[in-house]
Amino acid sequence: MSTEIDPRTPVLVGVGQSSDRIDAPGYRRLSAVELAAEAAREALRDTGVTDPAGPAAALDTLAGVRQFEISTPGAEAPLGRSTNYPRSVAQRVGADPERAILEVTGGQAPQHLVTELGAAIAAGAAEVALVVGSEAISTARHLAGTEDAPDFSETVDGTLEDRGFGLRGLVTRQQIAHGLTGAPNQYALLDNARRARLGRTREQYAAEMGELFAPFTRVAAANPHAAAPTARSASELATPTERNRPIADPYTRYLVARDQVNQGAAVLLTSVAAARRLGIHEDRWVYLHGHADLRERDLLERADLGTAPASVAAVRHALDVAGIDLDQLSTLDLYSCFPIAVSNICDGLGLAPDDPRGLTLTGGLPFFGGAGNNYSMHAIAETVQRCRATPGSYGLVGANGGVCSKYSAGIYSTTPTPWRTDRSADLQAELDAVSAPPRTEHADGPATIETWTVVHGRDGARTGIVVGRLDPGSCRTDAAGSRFLARTVDGDETTLDLLSTGQPAGTGMYARSFGAGNRVATTRERMDEIAPRRAPGLRPEGYEHVAVRRDGHLLEVTIDRPDARNSLHPPANDELDEVFDAFFADPELWVAILTGAGDQAFSAGNDLRWSASGKPMWVPKNGFAGLTARAAMTKPVIAAVNGFAMGGGCEIAMACHLVVADTTARFALSEVKVGLVAGAGGLVRLPRIVGPTLATEMILTGRRLTGQEALAAGLVNRVVEAGTALAGARALAAEILEGSPTSVRTSLQIMDETGGIADTVEAVRHPSPALDELMVSEDAVEGVTAFAQKRAPRWVNH
């Protein structure tokens, strides 16, 4: 090799893999840390240095790929885990690196870290770096709860550069509400969108997926580290059976990533100078010739759900940086969690699915094993070995994260090359500039299916998930053509059967929105049958979580959950939404009062015990308590605040037109104290009511205001003696009821219409049709007549 190469050029000098199958002889019950350490020791030995302790002692950087048990908030580690995964591994191999990194979640992590640390070495910011990753999911599931279960917990001191979960854009409240959280469900939408674009029948597409993955099984069958080393035919992969049960159409179990694995892998990088100093022979050196890191648009913002152009662009750019074309590659390993992850690259590059070079070196995620976020570390290890075996050849590793969301590509070869920078940032800007389709959160009206899946439970239950487009001309103008997410109504076998046969894409459906999300059915008539809209009206039999009292034109509503400080969960929210729908629809009800049962709290906001239980969470379309997002508050609502109005309780009070508080009242947006934000309007309303200075302090610290402080700040209209909030609200309501209900409604409407007009004169001149209607109303005539006749008016309320 030429001595002219820059001594800071990065080279991969050691790779290692480990595994511990529970059904194999000599099963060792290794933890994730132990699997990673074993792979790391193998990578150190792979350098060919007589004493691997030399490279270990020289480590200045150790980067770890996240295990699944630390990849999402609240994830469980049933056998325990390390507090500092990279340093736990470092201790076991005799290293004490200056820098320890824990990378963000995603299957792109191994290749991204190799690229990042390669750049750091080239810049002189590092010299010897180890990248490790591992999973012991199979052992955790196998031994959790057993009498002799091992304890993998360990506390390790030392600095840690924890980069967080990195889940931005991968999980949204809308997806959670519609059951679109598991990887199979989301990827199924992509594969079915591709199927629709290609015009394949269900049977044709299933056969093609089987044909794509059958060669993968043969590679896995020969891999000693494979979790499922069994060769299977295309038909066997694609045909549903008891063992190959449907997961999420179009996937059967054999076609999805296998996460029950015990595997580890590691890659050692050094500078050329460090490799020479440590005595690592040049025949171990492999160079990263090309690389790219790109991100796809968030799932529902993609123009075509059947493609992932960022992934294709990443591979193309890595080839461009390397200065080679696709035909010059000797080996390929394409991330293969689901068929679309592979076929998308094949489609975009013009690569035949049966390319004689093969599309995997390991056997792929469904068969070798989906080792959490670390699969591609195994692919890199295999690629390095193949490059060494055939000097001068080139190998591609394509690493995918999220839902074809983040893609890192690398081109490897033993051919010496200086470090090359990529233009990923420029390409990312071009990808981000592509316009996204319009979206709507609430879908109502005729629609067309864009893509779909049917999720199958182990108990045989089915749930349909649909991405649709509202039909133009059949809904409000601003929503025409908008994309939406929906699911089927529970028990609607008619719609499920439609989604499970033929070609659903392009089929007409009917969508209807609810607080818990959007639902679809085959027709409006079918929707009216299985999920009718609730007609406004108070229930004669009453409510479970709310008490209602009607007194003439006044409606009193009491949140009746004193044992929970009148906090709200979905059933209570739904009842309040129903009650206020009835109030605003009933012409004989002119004023409403909302209060809380007991003397401790008006409302403590969201029921955190319900949230923590894992039960489904939602709020009505009209917002918390049916008020905080209600568009038409056409009649006055008074909050009678007795005790705490905390978090969502404060937001409810602010959504009311008027607030009467007793001296025990305390107002606060306390969400930051429990890791949340005042997302039901508090962040918007509080600054407008009390001003930005006080509002910012309250929002950021959770500061509580007494009733008198709230009065001074403009948050409260009146403060009354302890225990008399309801009486005070009744007195205020009586004053309102003395006026014309028509005038009251008109006043509220004009205030609402002009609230967003900054210029006072412009707001005064605002031509409200409500004022014209008032002037010709019977109440306007009655009011003037009664005044002239010196008698009490008899309001007509028209």
Residues labelled catalytic: 651, 671
Strands 128-136 and 61-64: parallel
Angle between helices 309-322 and 424-432 (to 10 degrees): 160
Give the tokens for residue 32. 């994730």
Buried b (16+ CB within 10 A) or exposed e, 54-77: bbbeebbbbbbbbbbbbbeeeeeb
Cα 648–Cα 673–Cα 657 angle in degrees, nearest 5? 25
Pairwise CA distance, residues 175 & 298, whole Å: 11
Specify the 3-state DSSP secondary structure of 55.
helix
Q: Which contiguous run of DSSP H or E holds residue 380?
A: helix 375-389
How many Cβ atoms from other residues are within 10 Å of residue 151's Cβ?
A: 8
Per-residue CA distances from 50 to 44, 127, 267, 279 (Å) = 10, 20, 18, 9
Strands 546-551 and 554-559: antiparallel
Please say whether the beta carbons of 726 and 599 come within 8 A. Answer: no
Give the tokens for residue 147. 């009498």
Pairwise CA distance, residues 264 & 38, whole Å: 8
Give the tokens for residue 550. 């009607």
Give the tokens for residue 333. 């390993």
317's torsion region: left (phi>0), alpha (psi -120 to 50) or beta?
alpha
Sequence letter at residue 380: I
Pairwise CA distance, residues 105 & 622, whole Å: 35
For residue 663, with 0-12 CB atoms within 10 Å meaning exposed, 13-18 middle and 19 or more buried, which class applies?
A: middle
Strands 591-596 and 546-551: unpaired
- Closest residue by Cα to residue 129 from 6, 14, 31: 14
Phi, psi for residue 76 in degrees, rounded to 5:
-95, 145
Give the tokens for residue 703. 């500061």
Give the tokens for residue 484. 């939406």
Pairwise CA distance, residues 168 & 165, whole Å: 8
Which residue shows structure tokens 């990065």? 10
How many Cβ atoms from other residues are within 10 Å of residue 514's Cβ?
A: 18
Rg of the chain (C-alpha set): 32
How many Cβ atoms from other residues are within 10 Å of residue 200's Cβ?
A: 16
Going along 275-345, which residue ranges are E strands?
287-295, 329-334
Buried b (16+ CB within 10 A) or exposed e, 568-605: bbbebbbbbbbbbbbbbebeebbbbbbbbbbeebbbbb
- Closest residue by Cα to residue 511 from 472, 554, 466, 545: 466
CA count, 13 A, side-chain hemisphere, 626: 19
Give the tokens for residue 601. 């709290």
Pairwise CA distance, residues 182 & 189, whole Å: 12
Going along 187-284, which residue ranges are E strands?
246-248, 251-252, 262-271
